[in-house]
Amino acid sequence: MSQQIVEIDSYLLPVVEVVEETRDALTVVLSVPEELADQFDYKPGQFLTIAVPSDTHELAARCYSLSSSPHDGGPLRVTIKRTAEGYASNWIADNLKPGHHLRVLPPAGIFSPKDLDDDLLLFAGGSGVTPIMSITRTALSEGTGKIVVFYANRDEKSVIFRDEFNRLSVEHPDRLIVVHWLESVQGLPTQDQLKAFAAQYSTFDAFCCGPAPYMKSVSLALRELDFPRERRHQEKFVSLGGNPFGDGFSVDTAEYEVGAYDRDGA
């Protein structure tokens, strides 16, 4: 994702549900009015940029990947994990509730399969599973290829979408393989271990999202296996500079809009 800031139209979407996924991760479910359906048409693996009120004079604009599928007719879902120093993730977890609203930019990003019929090798680390889940859900629904997910977490309690992966595996036993790697049991996956795993799927298209060290190890493992560049994909967010929502959009506006409809009785 580029650091260049281009002002584009933003939209206020209602929060219809906040789902607790794990002890430190939640999914925010956003409803899209029918008249905005075209603006929020998206590809699996894309993200939303969200405006969050800040405790400083600067707006907190953060990018969160969509975990929903664009083909199931459901609402938008963004899955967010608290981070120790993450102002926005903690603000959302502590304050957001159904009936609130969020101002967002339309879906963006290129972390998406070109062909849903391709065989996919998907590496996820921690909350990096969010776009991986979107891709998995969509490819199983709309594609024909095989899907292998390697999902690394700190421990069993940290596994986001555990039940959903189990359900999908039961429904698609001939197409979906999900491998869980727990640091508490197996230690951190090494480059050699990742290489040995990926070697079984050398003809697949590979996608990776997670912490930087994890993504680096996966990238190096795939390079050693001579995965061509066009079949290696990584999702990487950078800090936003400035206010992508436009100079006229302030912290006060963001704070008001989040709960305005509650306060106004609407």
User: Taking a C-beta distance cutoff of 8 angstroms, is the pair 78, 110 a contact?
Assistant: no
CB 19 within 8 A of CB 75: no
The verdict on residue 39 lying in a domain is yes
Cα 256 from Cα 70, distance rounded (Å): 30
Does a structural domain hold residue 225? yes
> Does residue 256 register a pLDDT over 80?
no
Do 202 and 253 have their domain in common?
no
Stretch 260-266: mean pLDDT, rounded? 46
pLDDT score for 35:
95
Based on the fold, state whether residues 140 and 196 are members of the same structural domain: yes
Q: Tokens at residue 241, please? A: 């500079």
The answer to whether position 1 is within a domain reads no
Same domain, 220 and 169: yes
1 has a pLDDT exceeding 70: no
Residues 131, 167: one domain?
yes
189 domain residue, yes or no: yes
The pLDDT value given to residue 74: 87
**Is the domain of 187 the same as that of 97?**
no
4, part of any domain: no
Tokens standing for residue 167: 């359900």
Instruction: Name the band, by pLDDT with cuts 50, 70 and 90, for residue 104.
Output: very high
Q: Which two tokens stand for residue 181?
A: 């790697």
- What CATH number is given to the structural domain containing 135? 3.40.50.80
Residue with tokens 């795993």: 197
The domain in which residue 94 lies consists of: 11-109+244-263
Q: What is the mean pLDDT of residues 101-124?
A: 95
Placement of tokens 């789902």 in the chain: 19
Contact 233, 131 (CB under 8 A): no
Mean pLDDT along residues 59-77: 90
Give tens-digit pLDDT for 138-176.
Answer: 999 999 999 999 999 999 999 999 999 999 999 999 999
* Contact assessment for residue 48 and residue 15, using Cβ atoms and an 8 Å cutoff: no
Q: Count up the domains in the chain and report the number.
A: 2
- 229 and 128 within one domain: yes
Between 191 and 254, the more confident residue is 191
pLDDT band at 3 (very low <50, low <70, confident <90, very high): very low
Are 51 and 254 within 8 A, CB to CB?
A: yes
Classified as helix, coil or strand, 55 is coil
Q: Are residues 87 and 132 in the same domain?
A: no
Both 259 and 211 in a single domain? Answer: no
Task: Looking at the structure, tell me whether residues 86 and 171 fall in a common domain.
Answer: no
Write down the pLDDT at residue 59: 72
Question: 73 or 114: which carries more pLDDT confidence?
Answer: 114
Distance CA 163, CA 169 (A): 10
Residue that wins the pLDDT comparison between 264 and 253: 253
On whether residue 54 sits in a domain, the answer given is yes
Distance in angstroms (rounded) separating the CA atoms of residues 225 and 182 = 24
Percent of the chain with pLDDT over 70: 85
Whether residue 155 sits in one domain with residue 103: no
The overall average pLDDT reported for the chain is 89
Domain assignment present for 114: no
Q: How many angstroms separate the CA atoms of 31 and 13, rounded?
A: 6
Are 45 and 17 found together in one domain? yes
pLDDT value at position 37? 94
* Residues 179 and 248 reside in one and the same domain: no
Report pTM: 0.89
For residue 175, is it within any domain? yes
Please name which of 78, 87, 31 lies closest in space to residue 59, comparing C-alpha atoms.
87
Residue 88 has pLDDT above 90, yes or no: no
229-248 pLDDT, tens digit each: 999 999 876 655 567 776 65
The stretch 205-218 carries a mean pLDDT of 96
The CATH number of whichever domain residue 47 belongs to comes to: 2.40.30.10
